[in-house]
Structure 1
């Protein structure tokens, strides 16, 4: 099922690695080199006043030089590498060199030169792969920077070891360079065959996005995307002497993560619409991620073009709750427009597929002209699968929504008041809160106050929604807590929901203040609904996420076997070349 693939792909974000401070890497290099030096002195029964120069020349100096000069060398070849990544590659290179060269001494004391040469070739191969991913996927631009560490180590060790060591080291480096090239060709083949781009190129683009805000990834998604047409229902609330409130429900998905694609869709639409705009989460999965901000603005243009010129309905129903199975729907009608919010809290739920949401919207059109369906997106513990048409859970959603539409259509509509409040929060994206903070819409009708509380975040930690509702009952008669599903909070991990890092006790006072402010802001209102048909919106495309996830999983599956074959081949090639040259 494609939902399972969506889940696997989002879970891959946990493999994204950020570089540590170069100071930590340097400290690790000094510590490891110092330990080797001490063991060398103790092993040779020497004096600490007369250090052994080999560990310094073969381990310490090459690692420090690699840390210091690789960024400069990368720039000389048209790339860019910060000292954090340079320090990480140098420290890992030193660890590889120490482990491979020193561990076998316990069994093969007479073969240190051979294992040291092998370790340097492995360091070279490792640096080629890492720099190809971090700096530039064109190997010709990273070969020289990659050779810096092992090259200096060969020069430093040469006076202590014989000519044989230098010869074998050079042959091993040549064999491993060819091996890395072959490894990359084999590994990249599935991705290039399906998407015309290699994984290293994608990693380059992603790291450029993180460091410089590059849009190269958006170009890739556009190249594989497809054009869709999606409905978007909006509700305009005009108030006497107050700012107009604009409610809109996109049926495209704010993903995939960070600032990539349409991940910041809620804020972009909020700013484009202007004023008191609430951008709720409709029914869409990662297949419906806009490929870039341009496509998000297309959606905004369509919504603004369909904006009603005047509001003619001055009445609405009370909000009501309808339940079928595990699905709970809160619905409220404003003239010929209905707003329905679905949740399964405290049960975990992920995105509803567009086809699922579209079916719900069409079923509501039996009673209403405009059907706004909101996925509350308010209960998450671990990453879960989505909701799809034809599944038992999908049928629960459809049945609960149909009950809500038919029940709401029978309710009396009377004059109402609307109030709005917007609070930014003193936490960042890394804490699970997007740029918009929290927004509150309060509808007062027939003595009933209903609060629509919207967090700019990606889902809520299990129990947070229910705890907030429990606390708000002293202020309002009914409420629902929702998130926009913004993915700007997911730059590294797929799990960063509201309430995970910052407990409800910490941010609830801001919610309560916003609800009180919205109640105080209430004024008599009239409404008008609209359904915009957003055309030619380029999204990732049906099954594209599944295809990417399947391709990545296939690549990961044969990485180790291919690496082993190539390493063995490199050793055999080196041995054959050595004997041909020497004998």
Structure 2
């Protein structure tokens, strides 16, 4: 699990686009449960991740059966989950509460809770879909860390969702997809992947998964998007995710989906794509796989060191600016009296 940061195209900042481009069809690269400590140190490291994904695909066994989707709530945590063959998909969120990245260790523990009946391959997605902004998120910025109440809520939700998915009705899996790159720009909070929607149908029960190429969302927008999809399609379950693509943070640390673009326009785009994806439903075979690879990431020490150096640079910059200003004023005063 890798985090798409730190900013712009630096390191793994453009990881979602690279992953999507490597797919033969329409790629859906959601946000994993990892924070900035798991930023790749260079763009070349992305190739290692993509190679591992190719190996997982080559060794995967495709199956046509799946389970109906289940929605679970535990404390502040909500989860939409399905099983496809021998693989599981679980999308988590703490909305309407404000939350940011889920710690790597928390995600690993939640995946373990979800596994039942020997299920090995679980894609646990951090919905990353509601944040109050840097000024309103509190001292921890909404991070979900080990030992926090939210971490235990997530464990409970994952365990319950895993059991419910294992016991859910099975049927033939159908899938439909739709994509619009949109005309919005990274400066407006939307990355190059635009908006993508996937709709599944198993045993007559439908779920819509909406993926927006951005870094989190303003509070309330997720709810509007869920309502828009339900009203347009009548699907039984809906969840909205962002990729956490940091190309939208080239010049701004806080550039959430919905800050710069019109919410109604985004709702209309998502509504239209959901209808198209539902119309695209057809029987498919699905597989999951897990591969490991070695990459170099920032790590906890590097992240803290980078932050310390940045703060030191800012402090020196302020002192230097003051010195330059004082020098300029002194020269001006001398010139005034001497001329």
Q: TM-score range by the shorter chain?
A: 0.7 to 0.9
- Equivalence for 1:491: 250
Quickly say closer, same or farther: Cα 1:377–1:407, change in 2 above 3 A: same
- Equivalence for 2:225: 468
Q: 2:186 aligns with which of 429, 446, 451?
A: 429
- Equivalence for 1:324: 74
- Equivalence for 1:542: 300
Q: Does 1:354 align with 2:104?
A: yes
Quickly say closer, same or farther: Cα 1:568–1:508, change in 2 above 3 A: closer
Runs of 5+ consecutive residues of structure 2 not aligned to the other structure = 135-140, 328-339
Which digits, 9 at most, give the CA deviation of each residue in 1:511-569, with x for residues without a partner?
12211111111111222111111x22111122311222234335555776788899999
Across the aligned residues of Structure 1 and Structure 2, the Cα RMSD in angstroms comes to 2.4
Give, in whole Å, the separation in 2 of the partners of 1:396 and 1:406: 16
Quickly say closer, same or farther: Cα 1:558–1:268, change in 2 above 3 A: closer
Which digits, 9 at most, give the CA deviation of each residue in 1:413-472, with x for residues without a partner?
211211111111121111111001111111011221101110111111111111010121
Please tell me whether the aligned partners of residues 224 and 267 of structure 2 are also in contact (alpha carbons under 8 angstroms).
no
Q: Does 1:294 align with 2:52?
A: no
- Equivalence for 2:143: 386
Give, in whole Å, the separation in 1 of the partners of 2:52 and 2:161: 28
Computing the radius of gyration from Cα coordinates, the structure with the larger value is 1
Which digits, 9 at most, give the CA deviation of each residue in 1:153-209, with x for residues without a partner?
xxxxxxxxxxxxxxxxxxxxxxxxxxxxxxxxxxxxxxxxxxxxxxxxxxxxxxxxx
Name the SS for the 1:374 alignment partner. strand
- Equivalence for 2:29: 279
Quickly say closer, same or farther: Cα 1:567–1:442, change in 2 above 3 A: closer
Q: 1:520 aligns with which of 270, 279, 283?
A: 279
Give, in whole Å, the separation in 2 of the partners of 1:321 and 1:347: 17
Please tell me whether the aligned partners of residues 133 and 218 of structure 2 are also in contact (alpha carbons under 8 angstroms).
no
Quickly say closer, same or farther: Cα 1:264–1:560, change in 2 above 3 A: closer
Please tell me whether the aligned partners of residues 131 and 219 of structure 2 are also in contact (alpha carbons under 8 angstroms).
yes
Give, in whole Å, the separation in 1 of the partners of 2:68 and 2:322: 67
Quickly say closer, same or farther: Cα 1:560–1:528, change in 2 above 3 A: closer
Q: Does 1:511 align with 2:270?
A: yes
Give, in whole Å, the separation in 2 of the partners of 1:319 and 1:536: 34
Give, in whole Å, the separation in 2 of the partners of 1:563 and 1:310: 59
Name the SS for the 2:27 alignment partner. strand
TM-score by length of 2: 0.88
- Equivalence for 2:85: 335
Name the SS for the 2:37 alignment partner. helix
Please tell me whether the aligned partners of residues 456 and 486 of structure 1 are also in contact (alpha carbons under 8 angstroms).
yes
Give, in whole Å, the separation in 2 of the partners of 1:382 and 1:327: 20
Give, in whole Å, the separation in 2 of the partners of 1:501 and 1:563: 32
Please tell me whether the aligned partners of residues 308 and 529 of structure 1 are also in contact (alpha carbons under 8 angstroms).
no
Q: 1:396 aligns with which of 132, 144, 153?
A: 153
Q: Does 1:420 align with 2:171?
A: no
Give, in whole Å, the separation in 1 of the partners of 2:324 and 2:249: 36
Deviation for aligned residue 1:484: 0.5
Q: Does 1:305 align with 2:55?
A: yes
Give, in whole Å, the separation in 1 of the partners of 2:282 and 2:215: 31
Please tell me whether the aligned partners of residues 100 and 143 of structure 2 are also in contact (alpha carbons under 8 angstroms).
yes
Give, in whole Å, the separation in 1 of the partners of 2:320 and 2:266: 50
Please tell me whether the aligned partners of residues 379 and 463 of structure 1 are also in contact (alpha carbons under 8 angstroms).
yes
Which gives a bigger RCO, structure 1 or 2 (Cα 8 Å, sep 6+)? 2
Higher fraction of helix: 1
Give, in whole Å, the separation in 2 of the partners of 1:564 and 1:496: 31
Deviation for aligned residue 1:404: 1.0
Runs of 5+ consecutive residues of structure 1 not aligned to the other structure = 1-250, 570-583
Please tell me whether the aligned partners of residues 269 and 297 of structure 1 are also in contact (alpha carbons under 8 angstroms).
no
